[in-house]
Amino acid sequence: MRTKNYLLLTPGPLTTSKTVKEAMLFDSCTWDDDYNLDVVQSIRQQLVELASAKSGYSAVLLQGSGSYAVESVLGSAVGVTDKVLIISNGAYGSRMVEMAQRLEINHCVYDCGEVSLPDVHWIAQLLQQDSAITHIAMVHCETTTGILNPIENVAKLAKQYQKRYIVDAMSSFGGIPMDIAELNIDFLISSANKCIQGVPGFAFVIARTDALEQCKGHSRSLSLDLYAQWRCMEDYHGKWRFTSPTHTVLAFAQALKELSEEGGIAARFQRYQQNQQKLVAGMRALGFTTLLEDGVHSPIITAFYSPSVPDYQFNIFYQHLKAEGFVIYPGKVSQSDCFRIGNIGEVYERDIDTLLVAIEKAIYWKE
């Protein structure tokens, strides 16, 4: 049983506050009104308010990781006569493709490579050439590399060509300002353990109510039926269809409170951005090179090429940083030798300063 707390420099699960952890010290009954009415319904309302200033949206909470919610949306929103265009430039876009394949959802794929932004003109051509496409799905922040995809430009195409728009905002919602109504997003998907700084256990979908209504009878799954989950929460005042992850929900309620106290999404975005900029400047001063150009970086996670120092091995580097109290991510890019450092969660500029000292020490460490 370990007793040391590591600073998780990952895109989630991430380091949470002491008070978020303490919120899980209480047990709740899934049938109790104090839980469903006061906690779950409040969370749903707050999520909608964070997503847009306009009405016409509703929030659905789903047990499981973010991928469960992505699969729920694809399996519920895309009907048997529909077709979804999946835009992919990393592991999580590829995961959506695999989900569509497993669920036998009619789909086509625009794969623009792991380090490139989607070409909006090419997407427009695909929409013009294939009138069967009814939905567009893409990832906002692709944490494979840290790239931030142009959801605004694709939103304009979705509106112009009258397509339903699905955005996996797993690692961006709560940390990057956005108005999903202005962006014409029909389904936005995120998770409790990302920028809102809760703990793992459930994901959520913020969707247009008219789009949710059209999901009725489409789901390829019982437990991942988005429409059935939404109707249960609507009709029974926040009740979950199956066992609710109560402790995770309580932690999330506290995390939402702390997001508000910090100054909301705009303030959190500023902190994340300052963290990332300090990290990149410090790493470059140590001789590291970023995988991506500055203009496409998200403020969430950054990929760095492995250093050209004698006898470098990521596992040894990782263990030395861990001994100093920092946990980073290995690389996930198929064609490049790199590693990744996240800067979301309870991470501040002073933590980045300490990390950079630990990285310099780890790189030049000798037995």
Per-residue pLDDT tens digits for 8-21 = 999 889 999 999 99
Model confidence pLDDT, tens digit, residues 107-153: 999 999 999 999 999 999 999 999 999 999 999 999 999 999 999 99
pLDDT value at position 2? 56
Q: How many residues does the chain have?
A: 367
Does the pLDDT at position 3 exceed 70? no
Q: What is the pTM of this model?
A: 0.96
Does the pLDDT at position 305 exceed 90? yes
pLDDT tier at 364, thresholds 50, 70, 90:
confident
pLDDT value at position 70? 98
pLDDT tier at 84, thresholds 50, 70, 90:
very high
Average pLDDT on 60-80 reads 98
Phi, psi angles (nearest 5°) of residue 292: -105, 160
Does the pLDDT at position 92 exceed 70? yes
Model confidence pLDDT, tens digit, residues 321-330: 999 999 999 9
pLDDT value at position 365? 62
With contact defined as beta carbons under 8 Å apart, do 124 and 136 qualify? no
Q: Is the peptide bond before 307 cis (omega within 30 degrees of 0)?
A: no
Question: What rounded mean pLDDT belongs to the chain?
Answer: 95
Q: Distance from CA of residue 312 to its chain's centroid?
A: 31
| Cα angle 245, 242, 93; round to 5 | 70
Average pLDDT on 218-240 reads 97
Where helices occur in 103-179 by DSSP H, the ranges are 120-129, 151-160
| 199 Rama class: left (phi>0) / alpha (psi -120 to 50) / beta | beta
